[in-house]
């Protein structure tokens, strides 16, 4: 009989395309302390086809609460599906956590499927909440919560950030972790975080509200110790470090690399920041290669200097080209991310982005890009207010937020032609490089992607988007996953 039930909702087509879904790191983090004190069960909508039966079985034993994760966009739709099921069958409190409800707590707590919100980092807050629910105590005494009091949104005050080095290991035993080792580079891949937050001030990012521009990290020694422990326990051969900014402390980056030399594993990290990494020497990049680094992700955002200045992105193209060329000399794949469909992005700006993509791939044949996702206004960011001035109408409910998708943009500043171009670029960006073979769930899909690559590159380079039945066919598949 579980006292605490956690449910991971479907995320969308990214998980559907991988050989296995990514682990529910947010919920596992939330359970770090709770699972040590209370019997905890984690149900995953993505892998448990019988999630309703599992959840109903737990609800029938009257747990203290059910926790759900929220991320702006498609995941919310499935979170609401779970919450609706809970409300239909029980009066167990539904506790929401994650980025979206932290960014829009007053709107979110007004939803009938939300009883309590745990804002920001949830480890300590969630433990205190469950203790309070157990003894029937006063929620007002638990910092970091939102709930309705006399029909009004009530906040119990902000909780300070945690010292990451004080955090115990993730409670991996809540799940069968072998269900969450998707293949990357043909190897079972283990997902971990080494740091949280980012000190930068990009106007499109929610970091200013969620992390308040604070960066915190595990020490190099503790992180590598846990990394190697996971490699041994779960037979993981490759690691995916899911940081927002991995490169804040270059000395720490290099220390981690030194500790991993000879460990017999490979790794990838998100959150590479070009200005910091442009100051690294060729020997430093060689050390990363020797340590097993196989891919670095970098946020570039746009090929237009005008757009970079408007969004507060502090990098120069000279720095980008320098890092890209030097990575061509080591066995490390750079992967660059971009944002399209910004409220003040012109067609000329968009073409500059495509030209930049073609150049980095030409100067480094191993270079890849992430999908060209269209801009979703995230509450709390400076750009969110710009979007509203350009006609963005903030969704009034959680259900409306759940309909926002990266592959489709319905923003008012975009013409019908703009939307068609952005959706075409999003589709084509999957196939212009080698990334599809890194994670697709079947050899057939990988083979088809490689056949389509030259067509995708031609279409993107020349902005030729006429007659694309392949996009409609693909979208039907992705819609099923969403």
How does pLDDT run across 121-179, given as a tens digit for each residue? 999 999 999 999 999 999 999 999 999 999 999 999 999 999 999 999 999 999 998 89
| Bridge partners of residue 116, in order along the sequence | 95, 147
pLDDT digits 0-9 by tens, 369-426: 998 988 888 887 889 888 999 988 889 999 999 887 765 666 889 999 999 999 999 9
Q: Kindly report the three-state secondary structure assignment for every residue of 54-69.
A: HHHHHHCCCCCEEEEE
Residues near 146 by beta carbon (within 8 Å), at least 6 away in sequence: 101, 105, 106, 108, 109, 116, 117, 119, 153, 154, 155, 156
Decide if pLDDT at 261 tops 90: yes
pLDDT digits 0-9 by tens, 358-371: 999 999 999 999 98
Q: Where in the chain is the domain with CATH 3.40.50?
A: 4-155
pLDDT at residue 481, rounded to an integer: 46
**Mean pLDDT of the 61-74 span:** 92
Decide if pLDDT at 482 tops 50: no
- Nearest Cα to Cα of residue 376 among 400, 415, 342, 420: 342
**Mean pLDDT of the 249-256 span:** 98
What's the mean per-residue pLDDT of the chain? 91
More confident residue, 373 or 109: 109
CB 357 within 8 A of CB 390: no
pLDDT digits 0-9 by tens, 287-336: 999 999 999 999 999 999 999 999 999 999 999 999 999 999 999 999 99
More confident residue, 12 or 361: 361
pLDDT digits 0-9 by tens, 177-214: 889 998 888 899 999 999 999 999 899 888 878 888 89
Percentage of the chain beyond pLDDT 90 is 74
- Nearest Cα to Cα of residue 397 among 59, 110, 151: 110
pTM (global) more than 0.85: yes
According to CATH, the topology of domain 181-422 is TIM Barrel (3.20.20)
Secondary-structure percent of the chain, ordered helix, strand, coil, rounded to 5:
45, 15, 40
Q: Where in the chain is the domain with CATH 3.20.20.70?
A: 181-422
More confident residue, 407 or 266: 266
pLDDT at residue 470, rounded to an integer: 81
pLDDT at residue 409, rounded to an integer: 65
CATH ID of 4-155, from 3.40.1440, 1.10.3470, 1.10.20, 3.40.50: 3.40.50
For residue 412, give both structure tokens.
């008012």
């Amino acid at each position: 009989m579980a006292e605490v039930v956690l449910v991971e909702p479907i995320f969308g087509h990214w998980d559907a395309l991988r050989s296995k879904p990514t682990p529910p790191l947010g919920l596992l983090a939330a359970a770090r302390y709770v699972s040590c004190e209370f019997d905890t069960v984690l149900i995953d909508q993505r892998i448990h086809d019988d999630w309703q039966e599992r959840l109903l079985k737990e609800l029938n034993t009257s747990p203290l609460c059910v926790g759900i994760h929220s991320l702006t966009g498609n995941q919310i739709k499935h979170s609401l599906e779970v919450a609706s099921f809970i409300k239909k069958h029980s009066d167990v409190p539904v506790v929401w956590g994650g980025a979206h409800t932290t960014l829009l707590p007053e709107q979110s707590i007004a939803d009938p499927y939300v009883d309590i919100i745990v804002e920001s980092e949830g480890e300590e807050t969630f433990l205190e909440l469950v203790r309070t629910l157990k003894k029937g105590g006063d929620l007002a005494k638990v910092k970091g919560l939102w709930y309705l009091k006399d029909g009004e949104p009530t906040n119990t005050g902000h909780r300070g950030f945690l010292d990451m080095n004080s955090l115990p290991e993730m409670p991996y035993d809540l799940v069968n972790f072998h269900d969450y080792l998707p293949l990357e580079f043909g190897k079972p891949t283990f997902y971990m975080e080494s740091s949280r937050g980012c000190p930068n001030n990009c106007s499109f990012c929610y970091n200013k509200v969620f992390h308040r521009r604070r960066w915190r990290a595990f020490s190099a020694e503790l992180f590598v110790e846990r990394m190697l422990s996971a490699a041994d326990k779960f037979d993981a051969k490759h690691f995916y470090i899911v940081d927002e900014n991995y490169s804040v402390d270059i000395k720490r980056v290099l220390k981690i690399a030194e500790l991993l030399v000879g460990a017999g594993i490979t790794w990838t990290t998100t959150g590479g920041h070009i200005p910091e990494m442009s100051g690294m020497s060729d020997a430093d990049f060689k050390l990363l290669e020797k340590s097993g680094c196989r891919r670095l992700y970098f946020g570039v955002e746009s090929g237009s200097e005008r757009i970079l200045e408007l969004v507060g992105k502090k990098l120069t193209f000279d720095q980008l080209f320098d890092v890209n060329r030097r990575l061509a000399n080591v066995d490390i794949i750079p992967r660059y991310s971009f944002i399209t469909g910004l409220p003040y992005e012109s067609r000329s700006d968009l073409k500059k982005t495509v030209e930049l993509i073609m150049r980095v791939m030409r100067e480094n044949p191993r270079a890849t890009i992430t999908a060209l996702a269209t801009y979703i206004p995230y509450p709390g960011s400076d750009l969110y207010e710009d979007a509203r001035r350009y006609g963005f109408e903030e969704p009034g409910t959680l259900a409306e937020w759940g309909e926002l998708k990266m592959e489709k943009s319905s923003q008012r500043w975009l013409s019908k032609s703009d939307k068609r171009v952005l959706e075409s670029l999003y589709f084509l960006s999957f196939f212009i490089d080698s990334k599809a073979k890194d994670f697709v769930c079947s050899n057939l899909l990988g083979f088809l992607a490689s056949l389509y690559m030259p067509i995708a590159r031609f279409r993107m380079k020349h902005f030729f988007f006429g007659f694309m039945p392949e996009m409609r066919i693909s979208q039907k598949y992705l819609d099923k996953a969403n």
